[in-house]
Amino acid sequence: MTKLFSSKILWLAIVLGFSANASAQMMINGAGATFPYPIYSKWFDEYAKVDPSVRFNYQSIGSGGGQKQILAQTVDFGASDGPMSDENLAKAPGKILHIPTVAGAVVMTYNVPGNPSLKLDGETIADIFLGKIKKWNDPKIAATNAGVKLADNEIVVVHRSDGSGTTFIFTDYLSKVSAEWKQKAGNNTSVNWPTGIGGKGNEGVSGQVKQTPGALGYVELIYALQNKMPYAELKNAAGDFVKPTIESVTAALATAEIPDDFRFSITNAPGKEAYPIAGATWLLVYQQQKDAAKGKKLVEFLKWAAKNGEKMAKDLQYAPLPDNLQQRVLARINEIKM
């Protein structure tokens, strides 16, 4: 009886210990961009080993959703690949800081017979998404793909159906290379698409392209790589065709004139080695934190991400921030108040 009683006491102590640990663990909630989801997931997993007292719950719902939720204060941080507009920032109940994390490439991925290596220029991509170029063997596509057998197939345009920072980067690029696109559709996280079918998140667009013969869509590079999907070389502002790589995104990032508020664009960047549809991604946090305990933990994570998380970027095909920008970001994180 004594042994049985002791066993019960031990079992109860273990259960209570687990319960105490579970209740002591702080949950920090975030939502937004799908573009950086692979690297953020990695960061959250790795940071759990650094500070087991905190867990991150991140909903990959698109940049538009991330901006809405940080404005509504239903999350502790938002995430977006498009910087917030002056209009949206004015709606916030407090000052929102843009914390850039990494940069990446938006690639043109496709599903055509044989999946040949293709080269595309900005005007052609704009005309496809305007619905003006309808066939894969159109003369404009053929002009940049000499020697490639192009099928007489309909092009099925695939775009995002949700508010998306990947869309912001893509339409920012199209607005720079096509006056007609800028006038008819413009640049935003959501636009009135002239043609095509929608997919939710980078995951949804990848899935639609992969299962739809003749499809052409835009996704962050890691999604094309993970799904073993082909993607095009693109003609940049210098007139050279470049592949989306860490190096070509870094070359685009190096040209950026980055203002004090960190809201900047690197699409259609100058330079022979720059990939033209590149963009940064940001975490969105209030300068004045409502919950001091959560704010302290969030700041500790942001500093770790800026110093240690950046080292993991290249393994997931993202470009880390250059050292001078990294130092500016750390100084900005220090401005967050509890």
Q: Would you state the pLDDT for residue 24? A: 67
Token digits of residue 223: 């999604």
The answer to whether residues 64 and 190 touch, using CB atoms and an 8 Å cutoff, is: yes
Overall average pLDDT of the 143-169 stretch? 94
The answer to whether residues 198 and 237 touch, using CB atoms and an 8 Å cutoff, is: no
pLDDT tier at 205, thresholds 50, 70, 90:
very high
Token digits of residue 97: 């800081």
Q: How far apart are alpha carbons 163 and 67 in whole angstroms?
A: 9
Overall average pLDDT of the 226-253 stretch? 96
Among 126, 74, 40, residue whose Cα is nearest residue 310: 40
Token digits of residue 30: 């975030």
Overall average pLDDT of the 143-156 stretch? 94
Say whether pLDDT at 176 is over 70. Answer: yes
Residue 33, Cβ density class (10 Å: 0-12 exposed, 13-18 middle, ≥19 buried) = buried
Among 331, 184, 171, 191, residue whose Cα is nearest residue 265: 171
* Token pair 């065709």 in the structure block, residue: 241
Residue ranges and CATH numbers for the domains of the chain are 2-102+281-333 (3.40.190.10), 105-278 (3.40.190.10)
Q: How far apart are alpha carbons 156 and 136 in whole angstroms?
A: 10
Residue 215 host element (H or E):
strand 215-220
pLDDT in tens, 281-302: 999 999 999 999 999 999 999 9
The reported pTM is: 0.86
Q: How far apart are alpha carbons 66 and 75 in whole angstroms?
A: 9
Q: How far apart are alpha carbons 241 and 1 in whole angstroms?
A: 80
Q: Would you state the pLDDT for residue 163? A: 84
pLDDT tier at 44, thresholds 50, 70, 90:
very high
Output phi, psi for 110, to 5 deg.
-145, 165
Say whether pLDDT at 270 is over 90. Answer: yes
pLDDT in tens, 8-17: 445 544 444 4
Token digits of residue 46: 């790795």
Residue 99, Cβ density class (10 Å: 0-12 exposed, 13-18 middle, ≥19 buried) = buried
What Å distances lie between residue 20 and 3, 29, 33, 106, CA to CA?
25, 21, 33, 44
Q: Virtual CA dihedral for 34, 188, 317, 311, nearest 10 degrees?
A: -80
